[in-house]
Amino acid sequence: MPQYQIGLSPKLSGEVGVSTAKNAVLPILAAALLTQEEVLLHQMPKLTDVDNMLSILRSCGAEVKQEGRDAVIHARWIASPDENGLERAMRASVLILGPLVARAGECSLSMPGGCAIGQRPIDLHLKGMQRLGAKVETQGGMVHVTGELRGANIYLDFPSVGATENLVMAASLARGVTRIENAAKEPEIADLCGFLTAMGARIAGAGTANIIVEGVERLHGAEYTPIPDRIEAGTLACAAALTEGSVLLEGARTDHMRALLFKLTESGVICQEDARGLRLRGKARHPMEARTLSYPGFPTDMQAPFMVVATQTHGLSVFLETIFENRFMHVVELKRLGARIRVEGQLALIEGGRPLNGAHVTATDLRAAAALMLAGLVSQGQTLVSDPAGHLMRGYERLEEKLARLGADAVKLPQAARTN
């Protein structure tokens, strides 16, 4: 079981690079199934979610080669993945649905695994596929989607990121024009559309609530480098804000981080865009209000890391989680460190300004794991973060090493030195 030991941190300083975005890479990898030609992707982050997706592509029949941070995917022919645990292991496996039906006319998937933050239904994906002419049958935990796709007008009841991505991919090879209204506007969707366009797709309105896709006969191979990870950058920005650091986040796209940077600035941190990325100086001092919303609102993936910042500001902060039904599991663990947080339904009240004390805490999901690492930076003594499900490595490329490079006392314990 991965375990991380974090000591009370000095002011972080220096510069660290931001990895390519997990939530851009995963749909782009799925999109590689849309062409029978070779696709070359650069700067692949070393994450278990990426490894899992590459394994799922292989189980769909694609040839996958990796050289350093390059990935070459060649899906000469494809079929539904053979039944194995992988699809259940990762929510993002649902993203092969659109490509498989668009290219092979059918897809059978085990209903994807959620994670602890919510039941994660896929009703909007399936309803959209039906609008495109597909037949959907669910039986025994499996979903079978079949049919020739034709363009349609689709309205998403909720701007679901995954549903938008699946439907754009499916529509890119459908016969006719598809309009997706109330689409999600996250930067990762615009990036997926950039990759699809490089493959010859015809898409307008990428990154807006109204996306129009004119289906084409076939898509060709492409070479692409996905965008940097705004959530990893936001997590590192919170580490700087907690420790009154002076840090440069190399490659960060500040235009993807407006909501978070506004909140950090409001709280007293100096955030400066720099030709090389994002420079942060100073400490978060004032309590804040954060309501998680679809992009460009405050990102739900930043809720847990940002809550740690709130525990160190003087006063009462109020967080409202509107995207997932169960995304406060990090609160119990933060309270073990001495944080004073009260949860009422989707509302969390954080009474900040109290010192935290190191303890043994357990990661419950990906962003909670990162939040507990950050909390260790401002806890007296040592904090041991146990991560039995390996959540952290799903979405952060050696976060402990990046924090250590900035001066933090953060290490991943060798597996043998397990501390129960």
310 binds ligand EPZ (CB under 6 A): no
Cα distance between residue 371 and residue 242, in whole Å: 11
216 exposure class (CB count in 10 Å sphere: 0-12, 13-18, 19+) = middle
Identity of the residue, 244 or 365, whose beta carbon is nearer to ligand EPZ in the bound complex? 365
Identity of the residue, 8 or 323, whose beta carbon is nearer to ligand EPZ in the bound complex? 323
Per-residue interface string for the shown chain with ligand EPZ, residues 132-161, x marking contact by CB under 6 A: --------------------------x-xx
Per-residue interface string for the shown chain with ligand EPZ, residues 363-382, x marking contact by CB under 6 A: ---xx---------------
Identity of the residue, 75 or 124, whose beta carbon is nearer to ligand EPZ in the bound complex? 124
Provide the minimum distance between the beta carbon of 166 and ligand EPZ in the complex, in angstroms, as a whole number: 9
235 binds ligand EPZ (CB under 6 A): no
Cα distance between residue 311 and residue 143, in whole Å: 43
Rule CB under 6 A: choose which of 195, 224, 306, 324 binds ligand EPZ.
324
Cα distance between residue 331 and residue 319, in whole Å: 12
Rule CB under 6 A: choose which of 284, 323, 337, 404 binds ligand EPZ.
323
Identity of the residue, 155 or 158, whose beta carbon is nearer to ligand EPZ in the bound complex? 158
163 binds ligand EPZ (CB under 6 A): yes
Please give the sequence-ordered ranges of beta strands (E in DSSP) within 199-263, or none if there are none.
Answer: 202-204, 210-214, 222-224, 246-250
The phi and psi torsions of 25 (rounded to 5 degrees) equal -65, -40
Please give the sequence-ordered ranges of beta strands (E in DSSP) within 54-150, or none if there are none.
Answer: 63-67, 70-74, 106-110, 135-139, 142-146
125 binds ligand EPZ (CB under 6 A): yes
Cα distance between residue 213 and residue 359, in whole Å: 52
Cα distance between residue 249 and residue 21, in whole Å: 14
Identity of the residue, 23 or 59, whose beta carbon is nearer to ligand EPZ in the bound complex? 23
Question: Is 271 labeled as catalytic in the residue annotation?
Answer: no
Nearest to 287 by CA among 266, 272, 257, 256: 266
Catalytic residue among 115, 193, 238, 271: 115
Provide the minimum distance between the beta carbon of 165 and ligand EPZ in the complex, in angstroms, as a whole number: 7
Identity of the residue, 125 or 283, whose beta carbon is nearer to ligand EPZ in the bound complex? 125
Whether the Cβ atoms of residue 132 and residue 154 lie closer than 8 Å to each other: yes
* Residues of this chain, 66-105, that bind ligand EPZ according to CB under 6 A: 91-92
Rule CB under 6 A: choose which of 97, 369, 395, 396 binds ligand EPZ.
395
Provide the minimum distance between the beta carbon of 217 and ligand EPZ in the complex, in angstroms, as a whole number: 29
Q: Which long-range contacts (CB under 8 A, 24 or more apart) does 294-298 make?
A: 294/159, 294/161, 294/184, 294/185, 294/186, 294/323, 295/184, 295/185, 295/186, 295/187, 296/185, 296/258, 296/259, 297/259, 298/259, 298/260, 298/263
Q: Any idea which residues carry the catalytic annotation?
A: 115
Binding site residues, ligand EPZ, CB under 6 A:
23, 26, 91-92, 118, 120-125, 158, 160-163, 184, 300-301, 323-324, 366-367, 395
